[in-house]
């Protein structure tokens, strides 16, 4: 069962908007999965009492985690908007070439705006990414 003929790989396709949006949805999904590990760690820390929580918060406040929170927010905004686009596609609507090109543009603009809002509230509006 080895070395059977393969269908064309993604590498052979031109890097276009449809491929880009689909691929980004995947990457952001994987990033968000990593976020679940941090979420579970944080929840366990909360449940472990005040002292353990303070120690965990020191870990979660390290620069690398702050970068991760920024990546998570950016990923979440994109995955949310692109995911809604997929759900609309699943109803069989807006699948024509021109329409999907247009929705790709809408997804980009809306998700970038959403990212700006989220990052502002998380890091600047008197806030507290730990």
Identify residues 77-116 at the interface with another protein (CB under 8 A): 80, 83-84, 86-87, 90
Our finding on whether 122 is near another protein (CB under 8 A) is yes
- In the block, tokens 């699943």 appear at 90
Least distance CB 98 / another protein (angstroms): 25
Q: Which of 50, 64, 96, 97 binds another protein (CB under 8 A)?
A: 50
Q: How far from each other are the two terminal CA atoms of the chain, in whole angstroms?
A: 51
Are 70 and 79 contacting, i.e. CB atoms less than 8 angstroms apart?
A: no
Residue whose entry in the numeric block shows the structure tokens 């080895």:
2
Residue (of 84, 60, 59, 75) closest to 118 by Cα position: 75
Instruction: Give the tokens for residue 129.
Output: 């990414």
Residue among 94 and 98 whose Cβ is closer to another protein:
94
Interacting residues with another protein (CB under 8 A): 26, 29-30, 32-33, 36-37, 39-40, 43-44, 46-50, 53-54, 57, 73, 76, 80, 83-84, 86-87, 90, 118, 121-122, 127-128, 130
């Amino acid at each position: 069962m080895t070395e059977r003929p393969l269908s064309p790989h993604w590498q052979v396709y031109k890097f276009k908007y449809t491929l880009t949006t689909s691929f980004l949805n995947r990457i952001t999904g994987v990033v968000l999965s990593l976020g679940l590990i941090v979420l579970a760690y944080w929840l366990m820390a909360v449940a472990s009492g005040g002292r353990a929580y303070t120690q965990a918060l020191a870990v979660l406040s390290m620069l690398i985690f702050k970068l991760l929170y920024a990546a998570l927010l950016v990923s979440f905004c994109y995955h949310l908007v692109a995911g809604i686009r997929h759900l609309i596609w699943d109803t069989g609507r807006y699948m024509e070439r021109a329409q999907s090109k247009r929705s790709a543009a809408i997804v980009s603009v809306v998700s970038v705006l959403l990212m700006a809002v989220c990052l502002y509230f998380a890091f600047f509006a008197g806030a507290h990414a730990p």
